[in-house]
Amino acid sequence: MRLRRLLRFLPLILLLTLPGNAQAQLTFTTNNGTITITGYTGSPAEVTIPDTTNGLPVTSIGEGAFVWCFSLISITIGNGVTDIGDYAFSLCLNLTNLTLGTNLTSIGNHAFENCLSLAGLVLPSSVVSMGDYAFSACPLTSLTLGTNVTSLGDNAFSQCGALSSVVLPNSLTDIASGVFSNCTALTSIIIPNSITNIGDSAFNSCLSLTNATLGNAILCIGDYAFAECPLTNIFVPASVFSIGDYAFEECSLTSVTIPGSVTNIGNYAFFSCPSLTNVTLGTNVACIGAWAFADCGLANITIPDSVTNLGSAAFQSSSLSAITVGALNPVYSSAAGVLFNRDQTALLEYPPAKSGSYAVPFGVVAIDANAFFLCTNLTGVTMPNGVTDIASGLFSNCTALASVTLPNSVTNLGDEAFEGCTDLTSVTIPKNVVSIGASTFAGCSTLNEITIPNSVTSIEDEAFSACISLTAVYFQGNAPTLGADVFQSADSATLYYLPGATGWDQWVAPPPAVLWNPSIQATNASSWLLNNQFGFTITGTTNIPIAVVACTNPANPTWLLLQTCTLTNGSVYFTDPQRTNYPARFYRIRSP
């Protein structure tokens, strides 16, 4: 298309004499008595665009006129030019000198993008607008915008890695998306009072930006606006009503006060600001997004009465020891530093810095999926009857969790629910659980045995993978449907199933599946005595593990563990030297 345009206007040629006796022929078009430069031939190092030619003013440089002109080192644009078109000088990799005319008003999209040698720029005061990516990826060192500039396009100066100083005029009302993103040498910025909006990613990844002063007319701070900037402090003016998603993610802030004007704080707005130890929330904040202040340095947080929408894990940080909710909040409440909904039927967030064991209060029936995420100081948890779902990732990487008591109301163990709980040695799966999710117990490196109730019909992928200490899995029912690599790297595990259970004859090792069938052998009273000591023989599959327990009242039993052993060669003789101390004693065999 561009080639056809050039051929169409070949008869219109302007011959210019360039320095060093080099010559370049500029192609152009005329329209309503004005000239637009459309391209040039030859390979000169320097070009001057004249004010007039053939008695007509040169007013614009057309789209892509000098794109990929690798020989071009210097360009002087005459005072008659008011407009530079899209891509006009894009990818002029050796362009080092640029002189712009005094009547230039508009610079198009990508006009000087990737001019990788252009370190200096003097913008005339006449410039009003610059398009998207206008000077993106140029090695500019400083930038002063004239007082007539009203519009900067998206990413206009993005990836200007040498740009260390920027002066913005009061004529600007908006900072466009990505306009200074990845300007890694920029150290400070003053946003004038004329600005009402900071666009998405406006200063994203300005890795040297330690100081930003925000004007008092800003209404909205966009998504990722200052993400990954090493800002040490920020004053949010009282005009701001919204802080976008990831707006200050991974900053070096130590303290922040959210003014009363702010009603919305986006998802991950202050995520991973590890030095942020103090946050004051304004009295009109209504919405705080998911993970908004997660992975910060907060020790405690007070949620005002105005908050009615709180995202998952909004404050989940390893340093957080207490969450307090205003007494008049209509949606949320707190007890002992733990966050709940108003009527305390749902547990929403447990502070990770709280240590020891925790009993979830009676009446709780729902627990947020991230409520206990990375609670590395939690050693034990007891859940009340009524909880039905252990959500995906609920106790993931709770590395100190050694004991869990789950009620029989639980029917589902979600994906990765206990993944990485390296201190968890045993857990009783409730008798109504139907499914064990993918990676539910993956990486529980000290888990040594577990009993699967007969209610379980499916176990998903890698549910017990990397359980390197797992030696025994006791199935109380038929063989469930298994996903891939359920016991991957659980090399010491043996699966035990009961007589009458189906599906095990089709089991393919590893791990091996073994019939668990111990029984007491006794035919008459005399067989119960050996060397005047009470005992009996237990037989079953060779090398299966067993435990012998006893009680004195089977109607209301308290079973006492007497002995654990292995049926070496398929039998063992058990003796009870304490039998004569009881008027009656009842025995049974179970898994260890």
12 pLDDT above the threshold of 80: no
Please state, in angstroms and rounded to a whole number, the distance separating the CA atoms of residues 395 and 374: 7
| CA angle centred on 402, ends 401 and 405, rounded to 5° | 95
pLDDT (mean) for 163-176: 96
Tens-digit pLDDT profile for residues 317-326: 999 999 999 9
Q: What number is the average pLDDT over the span 153-176? A: 96
CA pair distance 400, 423, nearest whole angstrom? 5
Ordered DSSP codes for 326-350:
-TT-SSEEEETTEEEETTSSEEEE-
What sign results for the dihedral spanned by CA atoms 41, 42, 43, 44? negative
Average pLDDT (210-222) is 97
Instruction: Provide mean pLDDT across the span 372-394.
Output: 94
- What integer pLDDT is reported at residue 520 of this predicted model? 87
pLDDT score for 440 = 97
Q: Which CATH architecture has domain 411-516?
A: Alpha-Beta Horseshoe (3.80)
Q: Where are the alpha helices (DSSP H) in 401-443?
A: none
Residue found under tokens 């103090």: 278
Give, in degrees to the nearest 5, the angle at Cα 166 between 160 and 167.
Answer: 150
Question: How far apart are the C-alpha atoms of 253 and 255, rounded to whole Å?
Answer: 6
302 residue type, one letter:
T
Asked if the model's pLDDT at residue 16 lies above 90, the reply is no
> Can you tell me which residue has the tokens 């009003």?
128
Range 1-139: architecture per CATH: Alpha-Beta Horseshoe (3.80)
Return the bridge partners of 517, or none. Answer: none
Structure tokens at 455: 């209610």
According to DSSP, the β-strands at 52-53 and 389-390 are unpaired
Q: What is the pLDDT of residue 536?
A: 86
Q: Which residues of 195-207 are buried (b: 16+ CB within 10 A; e: fewer)?
A: bebbbbbbbbbbe
Contact partners, residue 393, CB within 8 Å, separation at least 6: 369, 370, 373, 414, 415, 416, 417, 419
Which pLDDT belongs to residue 21?
34
Rounded CA Rg of the chain: 37
pLDDT tens for each residue of 410-467: 999 999 999 999 999 988 899 999 999 999 999 999 999 999 999 999 999 999 999 9
Q: What is the mean pLDDT of residues 257-270?
A: 98
What are 522-572's pLDDT values in tens digits?
655 555 666 667 888 899 999 999 999 999 999 999 999 999 999 988 999
Distance, C-alpha 212 to centroid of its chain: 26
Rounded Cα–Cα distance for residues 439 and 393 (Å): 9
* pLDDT value of residue 199: 98
pLDDT in tens, 24-40: 689 999 999 999 999 98
Mean pLDDT of 44-68: 94
- For residue 571, the surrounding DSSP H or E stretch is strand 571-575
Q: Does residue 356 sit in helix, strand or coil?
A: strand
Alpha carbon distance 424, 113 (integer Å): 57
- State pTM to two decimals: 0.84
Instruction: Give the whole-angstrom CA distance, residue 27 versus residue 36.
Output: 9
Cα–Cα distance for residue pair 196/215, rounded to 1 Å: 8
Q: What is the pLDDT of residue 426?
A: 87
Q: Is the peptide bond before 453 cis (omega within 30 degrees of 0)?
A: no
- The tokens of 347 are what? 């547990």
Q: Are 154 and 131 in contact (CB under 8 A)?
A: no
| SS3 category, 293 | coil
Query: Tokens 């999209």 appear where?
Result: 109
What are the b/e assignments for 304-332, b being 16+ CB within 10 Å? bebbeebbbbbbbbbbbebbebbeebeeb
Q: What is the mean pLDDT of the chain?
A: 92
Residue 10 confidence (pLDDT): 36
Higher-pLDDT residue of 247 and 43 is 247
Long-range CB pairs of 13-22, under 8 A, 24+ apart, other chains included: 14/53, 14/54, 16/47, 16/48, 16/50, 18/44, 18/45, 18/46, 18/47, 18/48, 19/45, 19/46, 20/45, 20/46, 22/46
> Per-residue pLDDT tens for 92-137?
999 999 999 999 999 999 999 999 999 999 999 999 999 999 999 9
Structure tokens at 459: 């176990």
Q: Does the fold of domain 411-516 match that of domain 1-139?
A: yes
Which of 518, 508, 439, 452 minimizes the C-alpha distance to 480? Answer: 452
Summarize the confidence of residues 195-219 as an average pLDDT.
97
DSSP letters for 518-577: -EEE-SSGGGGEETTEEEEEEE-STT-EEEEEEES-TTS---EEEEEEE-GGGEEEEE-T
User: In what helix (H) or strand (E) does residue 2 lie, and over which residues does it extend?
Assistant: helix 2-8
Q: What are the angstrom distances between the C-alpha of 43 and each of 5, 87, 117?
A: 20, 18, 17
CA 325 to chain centre: 26
Cα 93 to Cα 277, 485, 530: the distances in Å are: 47, 54, 99
* Class of the CATH-defined domain 519-590: mainly beta
Kind and range of the H or E run holding 287: strand 287-288
Instruction: Please tell me the distance from the alpha carbon of residue 320 to that of residue 302, in angstroms, as a whole number.
Output: 12
Q: Identify the pLDDT of residue 524.
A: 59
Across 217-224, average pLDDT:
98
Q: Torsion-angle region of residue 278: left (phi > 0), alpha (psi -120 to 50) or beta?
A: beta
Residue ranges of domains in the chain: 1-139, 411-516, 519-590
Residues with Cβ within 8 Å of 532's Cβ and at least 6 positions away in sequence, in order, are: none
Residue 1 has pLDDT above 50, yes or no: no
